Amino acid sequence: MTAKRDLLLEVKDLKTHFHLHEGMVKAVDGVSFELERHTTMAIVGESGCGKSVTARSILQILDRGGRIVNGEILYYRAPAAENGTPPPAVDLAKLHPDSPEIRAIRGAEIAMIFQEPMTAFSPVHTIGFQMAEVITLHQKVAKTEARARALAMLRRVGVPRPEQSLDSYVHQLSGGMRQRAMIAMALSCRPSLLIADEPTTAIDVTTQAQILELMRELQQEYGMSIMLITHDLGVVAEMAESVMVMYLGQVVEQAPVDDIFHDPKHPYTQSLLRSIPKLGAQGGRKLETIKGAIPGPYARPSGCLFHPRCPAFMPGQCDQIQPPLIQLDDGRKVSCLLYAEPAR
Partner 1 sequence: MTMPEAGPLLQVTDLVKHYPIRKGLLRKEVARVRAVDGVSFHVNPGETLGLVGESGCGKTTTGRCVLRAVDPTSGRVLYRRADGEQVDLATLEGAALRHLRREIQMVFQDPYSSLNPRMNLLDIVGEYLVVNHMAHGAKLKDRVAELLTQVGLRPEYMTRYPHAFSGGERQRIGIARALSLNPRFIVADEAVSALDVSVQAQILNLLQELQGKLGLTFLFIAHDLSVVEHISNRVAVMYVGKIVEMAATQRLFSLPRHPYTEALLSAVPKPDPRLKRQRIILSGEVADASRVPSGCYFHPRCQYAVDRCRTEAPVLREISPDHLVSCHRAEELVLAGIPVEGDPNSMLPAAPPPRKDQASA
- Give the strands of the sheet with 23-36, arranged side by side: 23-36, 7-20, 66-76, 89-91
Closest-CA residue to 185 (of 126, 132, 118): 132
According to CB under 8 A, which one of 90, 237, 314, 326 is a site residue for partner 1? 237
Report in angstroms the alpha-carbon separations of 325 from 85, 128, 254, 281. Answer: 28, 46, 9, 33
3-state SS of 219-259?
HHHHCCEEEEEECCHHHHHHHCCEEEEEECCEEEEEEEHHH
Using CB under 8 A as the binding rule, whether residue 216 contacts partner 1 is answered as: no
Q: How far is the CB of 279 from partner 1 (least distance, A)?
A: 5
According to CB under 8 A, which one of 122, 174, 220, 302 is a site residue for partner 1? 174
CA–CA dist 128, 70 (Å, integer): 39
Using CB under 8 A as the binding rule, whether residue 276 contacts partner 1 is answered as: yes
Start-to-end C-alpha separation, the chain: 26
Q: With H, G, I as helix, E, B as strand and everything else as coil, classify residue 19.
A: strand
Q: How far is the CB of 155 from partner 1 (least distance, A)?
A: 16
Report in angstroms the alpha-carbon separations of 116 from 6, 99, 176, 295. Answer: 32, 27, 11, 26
Which residue's CB is nearer to partner 1, number 97 or number 256?
A: 256
- With CB under 8 A as the rule, give the number of residues binding partner 1: 50
Using CB under 8 A as the binding rule, whether residue 271 contacts partner 1 is answered as: yes
- Residues 6 or more apart whose CB falls under 8 angstroms from that of 85 comprise none
Question: What angle in degrees, to the nearest 10, is found between the helix axes of 127-138 and 175-187?
Answer: 20
Using CB under 8 A as the binding rule, whether residue 201 contacts partner 1 is answered as: no
Where b means 16+ CB within 10 Å and e means fewer, 243-254 reads: bbbbbbbbbbbb
Which residue's CB is nearer to partner 1, number 133 or number 232?
A: 232
Using CB under 8 A as the binding rule, whether residue 305 contacts partner 1 is answered as: no
Using CB under 8 A as the binding rule, whether residue 207 contacts partner 1 is answered as: yes
Which residue's CB is nearer to partner 1, number 74 or number 154?
A: 154
Using CB under 8 A as the binding rule, whether residue 313 contacts partner 1 is answered as: no
Site for partner 1 in 43-102 (CB under 8 A): 46-47
Q: How far is the CB of 132 from partner 1 (least distance, A)?
A: 26
Which residue's CB is nearer to partner 1, number 129 or number 261?
A: 261
According to CB under 8 A, which one of 78, 104, 137, 287 is a site residue for partner 1? 287
**Phi-psi region at 327: left, alpha or beta (left = phi > 0; alpha = psi -120 to 50):** beta
Using CB under 8 A as the binding rule, whether residue 262 contacts partner 1 is answered as: yes
Using CB under 8 A as the binding rule, whether residue 212 contacts partner 1 is answered as: yes
Which residue's CB is nearer to partner 1, number 238 or number 319?
A: 238
Which residue's CB is nearer to partner 1, number 14 or number 42?
A: 42
Residues at the site binding partner 1, with contacts judged by CB under 8 A: 46-47, 174-177, 204-210, 212-213, 231-238, 240, 257-258, 261-262, 271-273, 275-290, 293-294, 296
